[in-house]
Amino acid sequence: EDQVTQSPEALRLQEGESSSLNCSYTVSGLRGLFWYRQDPGKGPEFLFTLYSAGEEKEKERLKATLTKKESFLHITAPKPEDSATYLCAVQAIMNYGGSQGNLIFGKGTKLSVKP
């Protein structure tokens, strides 16, 4: 069964204290791994897509990396405005080689950054 596990469930950082969020996945065939940010009362906001092991993507203080079994979201010198829940999701390749497109989500990591 395709599955996504995120850790930790919650993370509290001081402003400027760098850290990483983990996303472990089990999927029959990975088409893509996605990171989203979700603010309270809002819909998930797309951050990154990673397609193959070794790939990295960066955006401001965030960098996402991918291996064959997990992905990391590295946060460098975070600011209070980075506080949010970060969601990881995978998209599987179907048996016919295509994809129905739906995402399998983890439960998220709630990040709090204190000034």
CB of 59 to another protein, least distance (A): 13
- Which residue number, 43 or 115, has a Cβ lying nearer to another protein? 43
φ, ψ for residue 109 (rounded to 5)? -120, 125
Rounded-to-integer distance, Cα 39 and Cα 86, Å = 9
Q: How many angstroms from the chain centroid is the CA of residue 42?
A: 17
For residue 107, give the amino acid letter.
K
CB of 84 to another protein, least distance (A): 14
Q: Please give the residue ranges that form the binding site for another protein (CB under 8 A).
A: 4, 31-32, 34, 36, 41-46, 49, 87, 89, 91, 98-108
